[in-house]
A and B are shown apart, each in its own frame.
Chain A
Amino acid sequence: MRLESRSTRPLALLVGYPLIALLFASLFCAMLVMLAGASPFSVFGLMAKGAAGSQFAFLETLTRATPLIFTGLAAAVAFRAKLWNIGGEAQLYAGAVMTAVLGTGALQLPTPLLLPILIIAAMLAGAVMLSVPAFLKTRFGVDEVVTTLLFNFIMILFVSMLLEGVLKDPAGLGWPQSKKVISEAVLPKLIAGKRLHFGFVIALAAALAVWIIDRKSALGYEMRAVGFNAKAARFAGIPVNRVLAKTALLSGGLAGLAGFSEVAGLKGNLTLDLSPGFGYTGIVVAMLAMLHPLGVVAAAIFVAAVFVGADAMSRSAGVPSYIAQVMVAASLLSMVTAMMLTRFRIRWN
């Protein structure tokens, strides 16, 4: 078997293969559903209904998509430059910690002043969090995959320490959680009485900004050049390490925003279960979007729909909601395979 590079990539291929990939992942999950003794059609039907069957369901999906857009963008930006940031989780918590530290009363400012400060602070925290592995990579040649992964564990322990220590809410009945952020630091809801908050709009704006950076700016061009061929980029005079540092700042900052948006928009305080793996899921989102910033929005909504739908379905159909994680993981693997097949043709001799 060998692979042959395709000289052209017809549109039918570019659209068809990803669809086949998602179909494949669905089939795999249908088998697992049957293993649970349920009918795949009714289960997928319930999932669809649970994710988009009502205004409530759809808003819930968008709410869940919000942090995924941020972490998805973080992964997309980094992966473009082949900076393997698997530490979205740590950077998310860094942003969340910063929001909790400054937003729970340390800064008493009116909303129009406080929110931008919190946004910048959370981005900085996430950026610093990723800068350490990026520095170790460029300075000492330490593989950033392992270090960003390890920092996820360090960070969650650090958060746990804070929540049982200095950030502990005295009124929290012993639960490891911080105080609620002050009302000036709360992101407004988009629709009164619903959970969807202004963080979603910020996420859309972030996607647009990343898209513009990617397409139009010198930095976006540099990041792509470094990602495709760092050696040639360096030879041509692109400061590769500086580009990687900037990439780390941008990527970490975006993941930090996810933490800010969850604390200031949804939960109101910092808890240990703030993120059920948003950092890792962001990687899937980025890959499903083929690293395209605007595609990230669509992919995040899709993945969120799978999760929200599965939660609703498992309550009524008795199929464990972990099917959502399986679905997402299977989609990731089949999607990267499909993307490869749009670039190469398999020849069997």
Chain B
Amino acid sequence: MTGEERAGQEEVLRLSGVTKRFGALLANDNVSLRLARGEIVGLLGENGAGKTTLMNILFGHYVADGGSIEVNGEPLTPGSPGAALKAGIGMVHQHFTLADNLPVLDNIILGTEALFALSSNRRGARARIAQLGADFGLAINPNAAVSSLSVGERQRVEILKALYRNARILILDEPTAVLTPQESAALFDTLKRFSQTGLSIIFISHKLGEIMAACSRVAILRSGKLVADRSVESSTRGELAELMVGHKVASAKAEPQEAGPVLLSLENVLARRGSLALEDVSLDLKAGQILGIAGVSGNGQSLLADMVSGLLPPMSGALKLNGAELWHLSPAKMVAHGIARIPEDRHTEGLIGDMSVTENVVLESYRSSRISRRGFIDWAKALRFAADIIESYDVKCPGPEAKVRLLSGGNMQKLILGRVMSNAPSIVLANQPTRGLDIGAVNYVHERLLAARRRGAAILLISEDLEELLALSDAVSVMFRGQLSAPVTRAVTTIAALGLMMAGQGFGGEMRHAS
């Protein structure tokens, strides 16, 4: 029986005409969707298409402006995660909703007992978690603090949270973003086992391949509208891609190009922060080349990025610029040395939302003589500089005086690109530069990076998106538990091979379980 056949029989969920606005943005426009018992539906769409918003409405985080939701024929109380949970809906959020300092057990049983009970049955809970773990291959130590778990294990806890409550409908929001390709495949198997027990699953992704591998039916959102709801079997990859984006997409690809001299190098670097560490990391960035860094998040990429950003000094080893060792690192010094740095998180690290576009654009250059004199900033000059960036980087905003927090993610990223790339830097650090962007903005960022490469810049590209890495990088290194593999050139590697390395293969003797 396929999902569609079942859909007629046992409908467990029905969304009718769901509409949601955020200010001027129509995030969900009259979306209707059904889910049958034991069915796995893919919710496909670009970043910003409204997938997460729709699911947040279903789970009660948001209240829709219009439309209704029925679970098993009963209307669902809007705006209440408690009501959604009670109706048998479970959600694995993209940003895990776990308290890191508390044990797994506490995270799972929170809210499952009467709030005003005088005691809690922890022993019973432990047994049940062990049972669920055994049934579905999701074993986990209930006494471990969440902070000690890998991302893969944390996701397991999130899934257990839903199973522990006997969820009948499971929503997974971009669950593969934190997994290796092999782990993703294992997750799909687990999901299929769930569906065989009658669990219905909504699987959110912006990656076509995953939807096609895991789902029987796919619903496609574009700019908040449901543009397709069809069986996966009868669809081709190309059709779905076009439905998702609305037009044909030509994605950027790096053309082969001669490597120049080494501009920046790390030699046997050791660094530590909290429980994370970089162990004996070496790399060379060559002019006109992009070096990609792959890896499951939390394996030390952030330390590497912070070191090149000037935020984290190495405990031993050396950071060399054009062969000369750099001492007393600081972000300002890195800027002065012509290193362009695109941070991982636009909102918390890249920009200051409550300041204007102009104030953000001069954040790295306000001390230079072209902006300020004797400690006083020439705001007229800053304004002209901002107008230049807005123009040449195609930043859509009300004007240079507008507050940055009002900009869309793509325009924020263009603003950052403008800030760091406007004076033709010789070295570029791009840390997750396209995360959360829609395809248009992704292509824009890629084009800019490739343009810098053509110009002869040396680029360090850190990404969790293997397709992106393979499209842009001349070579890719994999980070695993603070170690960095030797670079493999693009021509000789595959996504599957990189996936195995991300799980620890080839990291001499350090082959512990990686999930």
Inter-chain CA distance A219–B366, complex, in Å, is 10
Inter-chain CA distance A234–B311, complex, in Å, is 8
User: How large, as a class, is the contact surface on chain A?
Assistant: 20 to 34
Residue among B79, B363, B405 facing the most chain A CB atoms (10 A cut-off): B363
Inter-chain CA distance A5–B63, complex, in Å, is 16
Taking a contact as CB atoms under 8 Å apart, the answer to whether A232 and B309 are in contact is: no
Kindly specify which of A101-109, A201-209, A223-231 makes contact with the partner chain. A223-231
| B331 proximity list for chain A (CB < 8 A) | 234-237
Taking a contact as CB atoms under 8 Å apart, the answer to whether A236 and B363 are in contact is: yes
Taking a contact as CB atoms under 8 Å apart, the answer to whether A221 and B377 are in contact is: yes
| B54 proximity list for chain A (CB < 8 A) | none
Taking a contact as CB atoms under 8 Å apart, the answer to whether B354 and A231 are in contact is: no
Q: Does A233 contact B (CB under 8 A)?
A: yes
Q: Does A349 contact B (CB under 8 A)?
A: yes
Taking a contact as CB atoms under 8 Å apart, the answer to whether B376 and A229 are in contact is: no
Taking a contact as CB atoms under 8 Å apart, the answer to whether A228 and B341 are in contact is: no
| B335 proximity list for chain A (CB < 8 A) | 236-237
Q: Does B130 contact A (CB under 8 A)?
A: no
CB contact list, A166-205 vs B, under 8 A: none
CB contact list, A207-252 vs B, under 8 A: 216-219, 221, 224-225, 228-229, 231-239
Inter-chain CA distance A92–B331, complex, in Å, is 36
Q: Does A143 contact B (CB under 8 A)?
A: no
Determine the residue in chain A with the shortest Cβ distance to B332.
A237
Inter-chain CA distance A36–B154, complex, in Å, is 61
Q: Does B182 contact A (CB under 8 A)?
A: no
Inter-chain CA distance A238–B309, complex, in Å, is 13
| B355 proximity list for chain A (CB < 8 A) | 224-225, 228
| A234 proximity list for chain B (CB < 8 A) | 311, 331
CB contact list, B122-154 vs A, under 8 A: none
| A224 proximity list for chain B (CB < 8 A) | 355, 359
Inter-chain CA distance A221–B371, complex, in Å, is 13
| A4 proximity list for chain B (CB < 8 A) | 22-23
Question: Closest CB-CB distance, A235 to chain B, in whole Å?
Answer: 5
Taking a contact as CB atoms under 8 Å apart, the answer to whether B352 and A225 are in contact is: yes
| A238 proximity list for chain B (CB < 8 A) | 332, 363
Taking a contact as CB atoms under 8 Å apart, the answer to whether B311 and A235 are in contact is: yes
Q: Does B492 contact A (CB under 8 A)?
A: no
Kindly specify which of B171-179, B191-199, B342-350 makes contact with the partner chain. B342-350
Inter-chain CA distance A136–B377, complex, in Å, is 31
Determine the residue in chain B with the shortest Cβ distance to A224.
B355
Taking a contact as CB atoms under 8 Å apart, the answer to whether A218 and B367 are in contact is: yes
| B78 proximity list for chain A (CB < 8 A) | 349
Taking a contact as CB atoms under 8 Å apart, the answer to whether A232 and B23 are in contact is: no
Q: Does A7 contact B (CB under 8 A)?
A: yes
Taking a contact as CB atoms under 8 Å apart, the answer to whether B363 and A225 are in contact is: yes
Q: Does B443 contact A (CB under 8 A)?
A: no
| B366 proximity list for chain A (CB < 8 A) | 218, 221
Taking a contact as CB atoms under 8 Å apart, the answer to whether B79 and A7 are in contact is: no
Question: Closest CB-CB distance, B190 to chain A, in whole Å?
Answer: 35
Taking a contact as CB atoms under 8 Å apart, the answer to whether A216 and B352 are in contact is: no
Determine the residue in chain A with the shortest Cβ distance to B372.
A218
Taking a contact as CB atoms under 8 Å apart, the answer to whether B330 and A232 are in contact is: no
Q: Does B100 contact A (CB under 8 A)?
A: no
Contact with A along B306-321 (1 / 0, CB 8 A): 0001110000000000
Determine the residue in chain B with the shortest Cβ distance to A225.
B352
Contact with B along A4-15 (1 / 0, CB 8 A): 110100000000
Taking a contact as CB atoms under 8 Å apart, the answer to whether A216 and B311 are in contact is: no
| A5 proximity list for chain B (CB < 8 A) | 23, 405
Inter-chain CA distance A323–B18, complex, in Å, is 53
| A232 proximity list for chain B (CB < 8 A) | 348-352, 363
Determine the residue in chain A with the shortest Cβ distance to B336.
A237
Residue among B22, B310, B352 facing the most chain A CB atoms (10 A cut-off): B352
CB contact list, B376-427 vs A, under 8 A: 376-377, 379, 405-406
Determine the residue in chain B with the shortest Cβ distance to A237.
B332
Question: Closest CB-CB distance, A220 to chain B, in whole Å?
Answer: 8
Inter-chain CA distance A221–B372, complex, in Å, is 11
Q: Does B3 contact A (CB under 8 A)?
A: no
Inter-chain CA distance A223–B343, complex, in Å, is 22
Q: Does B117 contact A (CB under 8 A)?
A: no
Taking a contact as CB atoms under 8 Å apart, the answer to whether A349 and B79 are in contact is: yes
Q: Does B24 contact A (CB under 8 A)?
A: yes
Q: Does B353 contact A (CB under 8 A)?
A: yes
Could you list 26 A-B pairs, sorted by A, with CB under 8 Å? A4-B23, A7-B23, A7-B406, A218-B366, A218-B367, A218-B375, A224-B355, A228-B353, A228-B354, A228-B355, A229-B348, A229-B351, A231-B349, A232-B349, A233-B352, A233-B363, A234-B311, A234-B331, A235-B343, A235-B350, A236-B331, A237-B330, A237-B333, A237-B363, A349-B78, A349-B79
Known: A7-B406, A224-B355, A232-B352. 16 other contacts (CB 8 A): A216-B376, A217-B377, A221-B359, A224-B359, A228-B352, A228-B353, A229-B352, A231-B348, A232-B351, A233-B352, A235-B343, A236-B364, A237-B331, A237-B363, A237-B364, A238-B332
B interface residue numbers (CB < 8 A to A): 22-24, 63, 78-79, 309-311, 330-335, 341, 343, 348-355, 359, 363-364, 366-367, 372, 375-377, 379, 405-406
